[in-house]
Structure 1
Amino acid sequence: MAYVQQARTTADPATYERAEKALRRSLAVQSDDNTNAQIGMGALAAARHDFPTALTWAQKATTSDPYNPVAYGVLADAYTQLGQYPASYDAVQRMNDLRPDAPALARASYTFELRGQTDQAVALMRRSLEAASTAGERSFAHAVLSTLALQTGNARQAWIEAEAGLRNAPGDSALLEARARAETARGRTDMAIADYQAAIAIAPLPHYLLGLGELQQSLGNRKAAEAQYAVLRGQEAIRRSGHTPADTDAILFEADHGQPARAVTMAQEALKTRQFIAVHDAYAWALHQAGHNAEALAQADQALALGTRSALFLYHRAVIHDSLGDVAAAHADLRAALRTEPHFHPLHAASARALLNRIDNTP
């Protein structure tokens, strides 16, 4: 489990192999009722975005020990990413019934975030922070609270949450990235660039690289942006060679900065094992960029079906509506996106305002 966590925080795929070797050995020593190893295998499969396998291991773990709350956490994660949301809510409830600790409360918060109920999500994440017993749990809670603040357009509160977390964990890459996004929203781009660079130095995760690249591009620093995009292309080549599903960041990057047709193929492959709303959104945008707007709208609707408050999802659907000639629907989605999070993206927020202005001024 330590190897799984290390891989998540360092973006080193070789660590997954060490995790699997240790877990397989544990299962060889004790094949029956080895709940901890089953939980580990489930978490490892989820980290690799193999959610059907994660679900299988989580079900084994909850069968071997029906009173293990951690097993229900892995089960909930798998159900969520497979798009089986009611089942995931039930698993989260069972986890909280067994032990309402920081991880259980954090997952409960996420169930409300997915449904666009941000106030409840914030309240539960604050309870998770209060219940945190480790530095990692506290850092995670502050990072999520920062993200939730941004989703309501409160960039100052987002910065406060990230800053609070960094006082106790100055080397936490997720908190550095959270502060960078808050600084971007507040117009403090030099500080944002520095935080992104610090986060990438710790863990060159795709969404950090894409965030910095698009921020640099928005500032006209094309050479600096291309430096980040080159790393992303290298990571994508490694992913393809390993035949692992693409994450949403890779799909969106390909759609915006590469070949939209390839992004469509990547999204189709990802959906085979991950029917999550973010994958539907990435697929929608890839389809739009490739000129398939009718298909794109169906995917964009699925991405927003739970009521998730995502300005990016709303922007994507607005552009698709506009491309299909439904100006009223595009206008409604644009207003909702900019009301939800005015600075939701370094490039697309400006495009959203420009499109809304064009619609407003068209007779």
Structure 2
Amino acid sequence: MESATETTAADDRPQTPAPSEGARSRLRRRVLVGVLGGCLVLGGVLLFLPVLPGEQPARRPAPPGPAPGAQAHAAVRTGVAAALPDLVSLIDERETHLRKHPRDAQSWAVLGAAYVEQGRRTADAVRYPRAERALRTSLDVRPRGNAEALDGLAALANARRDFPAARDWAEAARELAPKRWTTYPLLIDAYTGLGDYKKARAALDTLMKLHSGPAVLGRAAAVYWEQGWREDAAAALSDAAAGASTPAEEAAWRERAGQLAWERGDLRTALRHFQQAVHLDPDQRAAQAGRGRTLAALGRSSEALSAYQAALAGQPLPQYVLELGELYESLRMTQKARVQYDLLRERVRLDTAGGVDQELLLGQFEADHGDPQTAVRRLRAEWRRQPGIAVADALGWALHRAGQDKEALKFAAIATDRAKGGGVRSAPYSYHLGMIEFGLKRYGPARRHLQEALRINPHFSPLHVPRARAALTQLGEPAMKDVPS
């Protein structure tokens, strides 16, 4: 309870009139300006304070990256590898959009290209008919000036190994937009598949004038390798991997670098590249298959089998099935090899239903594990349709296995003669040529080419390397009369 004195003192104080509404607003503004000014001063002081030893300077948060669908869109548009989850996001986005906007030609083209990439990464040929429908719908909606859809159809044809169609679609796109750089990698693939290496090199020259970056370097590496420029190819892939914008893209270039190292017999480098690729992108199944190939050559058979099985779990390509079957066969696990060969025929059947041309692989398989005469028939037809050096080599080997060594020599020479396009240094190609020459009793050239095969890559095949060594043992050392004075 207050005393009388305190009450009187309070009543005797002068009374301040209450401020008006305008005065209160001015007062609030002055307080706010003062607070902000103090914050700015404090911020400036903190900005220039030295960082004490052991302390980390504060970092601004990184700006958010593009959405997964946008990343995949950029990858698909430029022809580089996209992460599989990002592809799924892109496909979902475009399908949802097209249900509401079915006249969007560009979105149909993007959807078709995404289906192509998804089919390629998963070896699911069912995606290819979907891709074709989407791309043709894009052309129906916008029949003129639609270079995106033409590029997509060229990419689809390359994925199906239909190189004449790929060339036609890509040339139509180039005629429509000659400075559109993304068309030229498609032309390079088509021309290479058709054995037209001069046009492939000309397309690369144009591409390098129009654009630069990892996608161009990766394509240049493939052309350099075909021409036998191994160091240039390896350097281009190294630069492509260093400039990659996503882990999936870098993983794809690392896998290619591993493949080049494998093909020149550098197992340690190949294994390092393959492992880096798998670490960057666990869905990089080509790198898993590369690990299997390399581990088998290093004698680590159990790990090699596991790597192949991991590759086939996500990308059941018939080529990987064949490699695994041959590995089982080399380990004398005959029944398991037969299971893989039966699976290969089933995978080829599914691919064929999706429009994929697997005649080259079937010819190679029949030559070594089936009916060589059937292989010859298949590969003759393939040679007439798209005469690349891979088909020349396979046809020459099938003719040898069928007992027709004189004709076989002609095709083996095409695959290995630089003047005829066979500039690539390939251990299997040299081995095939050497064995054909051995069958023709041309012992000097046979010895030279078999030695060359083992010098290029002494681990090129778990089945054929022992046969090459056995043939060289049978040939023995060259006679002194064969040595030039």
TM-score normalised by length of structure 1: 0.96
Report the CA distance between 1:240 and its aligned residue: 6.4
- 1:1-363 superposed matches below 5 A: 1-238=113-350, 245-305=357-417, 306-360=422-476
Distance 2:181 2:159 in 1: 19
Report the CA distance between 1:268 and its aligned residue: 1.3
Tell me if the contact between 1:112 and 1:120 (Cα under 8 Å) persists in the aligned partners.
yes
- For residues 32-88 of structure 1, what are the alpha-carbon distances to aligned partners after superposition, in whole Å with 9 as ceiling and x for unaligned? 110110000111111112111111110111111111111011111111111110110
When residues 279 and 160 of structure 1 are mapped into structure 2, their CA distance, relative to the original with a 3 A threshold, is: same
Query: 4+ residue stretches of structure 1 with deviation over 6 A?
Result: 240-243
Report the CA distance between 1:247 and its aligned residue: 4.1
Residue identity in the other structure for 1:317: L
Match of 1:69, SS? coil
Distance 1:136 1:84 in 2: 31
State how many pairs are aligned: 363
Match of 2:466, SS? helix
Residue identity in the other structure for 2:182: V
Distance 1:351 1:219 in 2: 15
Tell me if the contact between 1:142 and 1:161 (Cα under 8 Å) persists in the aligned partners.
yes
- For residues 102-139 of structure 1, what are the alpha-carbon distances to aligned partners after superposition, in whole Å with 9 as ceiling and x for unaligned? 22111111111112111111011111112222333212
Tell me if the contact between 2:160 and 2:355 (Cα under 8 Å) persists in the aligned partners.
no
Tell me if the contact between 1:193 and 1:212 (Cα under 8 Å) persists in the aligned partners.
yes
Match of 2:195, SS? coil
Tell me if the contact between 1:50 and 1:273 (Cα under 8 Å) persists in the aligned partners.
no
Report the CA distance between 1:362 and its aligned residue: 8.6
Residue identity in the other structure for 1:341: N
Distance 1:329 1:115 in 2: 22
Q: Which moved more, 1:183-192 or 1:323-332?
A: 183-192
Identity %, equivalent residues: 38
Residue identity in the other structure for 1:165: A
Residue identity in the other structure for 2:148: N
Residue identity in the other structure for 2:165: T
Q: Which moved more, 1:266-275 or 1:109-118?
A: 266-275
Structure ID, larger Rg: 2
Tell me if the contact between 1:156 and 1:186 (Cα under 8 Å) persists in the aligned partners.
no
For structure 2, the 5+ residue unaligned runs are 1-112, 480-485
Tell me if the contact between 2:135 and 2:152 (Cα under 8 Å) persists in the aligned partners.
yes
When residues 244 and 161 of structure 1 are mapped into structure 2, their CA distance, relative to the original with a 3 A threshold, is: closer
Tell me if the contact between 1:246 and 1:270 (Cα under 8 Å) persists in the aligned partners.
no
Report the CA distance between 1:167 and its aligned residue: 1.0
For structure 1, the 5+ residue unaligned runs are none
When residues 63 and 179 of structure 1 are mapped into structure 2, their CA distance, relative to the original with a 3 A threshold, is: same
Tell me if the contact between 1:147 and 1:178 (Cα under 8 Å) persists in the aligned partners.
yes
Distance 2:177 2:324 in 1: 44
Distance 2:323 2:213 in 1: 32
Residue identity in the other structure for 2:392: H
TM-score normalised by length of structure 2: 0.73
Residue identity in the other structure for 1:275: P
- For residues 246-301 of structure 1, what are the alpha-carbon distances to aligned partners after superposition, in whole Å with 9 as ceiling and x for unaligned? 34322111111111011111111212332111111111111111111111110011
Tell me if the contact between 1:285 and 1:316 (Cα under 8 Å) persists in the aligned partners.
yes
Distance 1:246 1:299 in 2: 20
Match of 1:316, SS? helix
Higher normalized contact order (CA 8 Å, seq sep 6+, divided by chain length): 1
